[in-house]
A and B are shown apart, each in its own frame.
Chain A
């Protein structure tokens, strides 16, 4: 394992591990007057970025290493989020506006008498955890099996994944679908009995997100460093050659796609308790395209870069939408154009060029043997 972790990887894991420990301390263990003190809103914001980083990592696994530009990864993220949201909704119990012990408020509002089958079991945390993994995973399995088997590749695949998330977007918007319509799921009270409003829980969720990010990174790193990872890269670089060599390309792609979807789902599940809401806008096609630019900015095919890109772009977004809201789309658009035209290797590519300026040209990390 350690052999497959390079310098950037070690650094990344170390920083995340430090953050997982130090941030809760900065929030809870320091007095408010101290310079080291961290306000709670900042923790929530950083926690949100970490969830996005998990999502970006997931997309980088399929895009950077397998050439599958999924424009529907937001759907897997949102599905994981909805699964968590459903658990949190059931935890509200009789504390809702209508004080119905079983039905969430929006169902009472719609005059529903019984809990839909899809909601059964979600009051039980392990079941919700299973669903967080299972639902995005199964969707990716079914979708990927159809798409890869019939050799839908390149921009066709991108468009079809976009259509997938667009269809889900429309479906989740409907009140009759039973997941809160356009308001989504919100007004959560507590998780596993701990109040979501307490600082300790917020700091804890941040730490869990950081640990999840580390785990996802280690798993992704292990995958791309393995023999299977080499075949994944080979598929990216020349799919038909791999097929002629006798590899079952569709299964190679499918495995990466499903793992990636599950990671995205986990990111979504951690995201929901931290931002307190999940609604269909997470399925919007534009949201999913943005994920691709996080990865591109950080540097595709680097894993660490994807996570960094997600954090950098979302930090910029938070800043711009607060300070200069009318310029955010200009800036984002310029980033899309500029990165693809001038910095296709992203932040990681620029960094490695600086680092190895005096050494002979390096082989790309992904293609190293």
Chain B
């Protein structure tokens, strides 16, 4: 109704006229009546002509209306006929749609904004009659979002002969939306609309049902509307839950990527790398640098190139930190914490000096942008790929730890450093490589984060505390602990978010973890054995 009020009165008038026209017995006559109005050379008449064409819906209707919009519709005053040109410049008779020789002395039909508005409305109605079912469905969706009472006749006409099931459903919903926008719709129409909308079952359907039920003091309608409302609410709630689950999974995969490297370094060396967030940040900036260097034609390959590069850059940074700082502080884990915090400050400021303090724009290749719908779920491609990436990284790390000799050595050092050393494992080398591996994985996390977060010098800071929580919760020295920790915290966060708010949810989780380590001071998957207390 509001939509109505905003348009000018002429369109309302045209709509009423259209309703009259739609009952005209013969189609050809209706088209004739419409076309004649073009001859008037008045905007109001042109609008009526457009509405008339939409109502008559001849096969060439869409062409005529498009031609008018593009300034290719002409009046042949001498022969009292209307002629349109195709985009390639051939002339057609508007009445028959037949190709003709272009006569001389044509006068172009003029446009103003009022006419343009009526054009759009007419196009919607005409596209409903398109021979291609996919285009009919698209037209019906457009109509649903922009219900136009003028199109009702066209929708009804198409519904009468519709054979495609998908198009029928879409048209039925479009019709319902139009009825909902018509204040004086008849009761059977209203009931039919409520039925169609309840099958659609989304938020806009619910709104349409509410506007259908509003102002009608009919118990039957009210009952149908209530039932439909309840049904929609239930399905919305279920889809909402599924959507939150999806968000949770997505958040969990980001957390896992950021935290798993930390779990490795913490597990092997028992030291916390406060600069771990900056390793993530370096990965994100590597992505940016790759894109800045790469020619534009290869931009779609930038991510494939950035993943190994980010791994190498962060791993190299990790080796440098290990060799020059952490190595000297193994007996003083608290000092490592402070020293690596110092490293993180230096790295942040270095990146700020080199790249500037503002956010850097990272390009998303087409396969990483956009979204698709799965039922009531909206799934964005970038999140989907990050989940895939997290899974791949996790599997790769499992293989490294389980199936390589380096992995075996790393597990040995994690479980009992001195014993491993006595068995001939170079703990120094293992430490260095473990630090490189953990940092490199953080770099990969940075590439993923560059697609969903702002690439700024502070990028890492936003994830570091959450990553700590994952490690503390999951326990060290076991990748499954990190995975379960990330999963639990990610899901819990997104499930709590809609009920008590994002910040409250986070606080609750922090409090939960503080209490949780009362019960299990070393996390879910604690190390066991005599080396633990040392």
The residues of A with any CB-CB pair to B shorter than 8 Å are: 63, 67, 69, 71, 143, 146-147, 149-152, 154-156, 158-160, 162-164, 166-167, 170-171, 173-174, 240, 285-286, 289, 292-293, 296, 326-327, 329-330, 332-341, 344
Contacts and interface: CB of A to CB of B under 8 A. Distances in A.
The majority secondary structure among interface residues of chain B is helix
A337 B266 CA distance: 19
A170 B328 contact: no
B289 interface: no
B349 A151 contact: no
B111 interface: no
Contact of A334 (B333, B346, B515): B346
Contacts of A151: 521
B514 A340 contact: no
A151 B518 CA distance: 8
Interface in B450-497: 461, 465, 468-469, 472
B337 A337 contact: no
Given A71-B337, A163-B469, A174-B503, 13 more contacts: A69-B337, A143-B514, A146-B515, A156-B521, A174-B504, A285-B465, A326-B353, A329-B345, A329-B346, A330-B350, A339-B338, A340-B339, A341-B329
B334 A330 contact: no
Contacts of B533: 240
A337 B324 CA distance: 10
B117 to A, nearest CB: 42
Interface size class of B (residues with CB under 8 A): 35 or more
B519 interface: yes
Given A150-B518, A340-B335, A340-B338, A163 B468 contact: yes
Nearest to B333: A155
A171 B339 contact: no
B43 interface: no
A153 to B, nearest CB: 8
17 contacts: A146-B514, A147-B514, A155-B266, A155-B334, A156-B521, A158-B334, A160-B513, A167-B507, A167-B511, A296-B335, A326-B352, A329-B349, A330-B350, A335-B342, A336-B339, A340-B338, A341-B329
The majority secondary structure among interface residues of chain A is helix
Given A158-B272, A166-B510, A174-B503, A292 B338 contact: yes
A40 B343 CA distance: 37
A150 B342 CA distance: 30
A293 B216 CA distance: 72
Given A159-B472, A341-B325, A341-B339, A154 B334 contact: yes
A122 B521 CA distance: 39
A340 to B, nearest CB: 4
B472 A336 contact: no
Given A330-B346, A336-B345, A170 B272 contact: no
Nearest to B506: A170
A225 B517 CA distance: 33
Contacts of A174: 503-504
A321 B193 CA distance: 67
B338 A152 contact: no
Given A159-B272, A160-B472, A292-B338, A337 B521 contact: no
Given A150-B517, A164-B514, A341-B329, A155 B342 contact: no
Interface in B266-291: 266, 270-272, 274
Contacts of B333: 154-155
B302 interface: no
B348 interface: yes
Nearest to A293: B338
B344 to A, nearest CB: 8
B341 interface: yes
A171 B325 CA distance: 35
Most buried by B among A151, A166, A296: A166
- 3 A-B pairs with least C-beta separation: A336-B342, A333-B345, A333-B346
Contacts of B343: 333, 336-337
Given A69-B334, A240-B533, A285-B465, A163 B513 contact: yes
B346 A150 contact: no
A332 B325 CA distance: 16
B465 A341 contact: no
A289 B464 CA distance: 14
Contacts of B461: 286
A163 B503 contact: no
Contacts of B334: 63, 67, 69, 154-155, 158
Contacts of B518: 146, 149-150
A173 B506 CA distance: 13
A271 B334 CA distance: 28
A336 B335 CA distance: 9
Contact of A160 (B506, B507, B517): B517
A173 B507 CA distance: 12
Nearest to A154: B333
A344 B503 contact: no
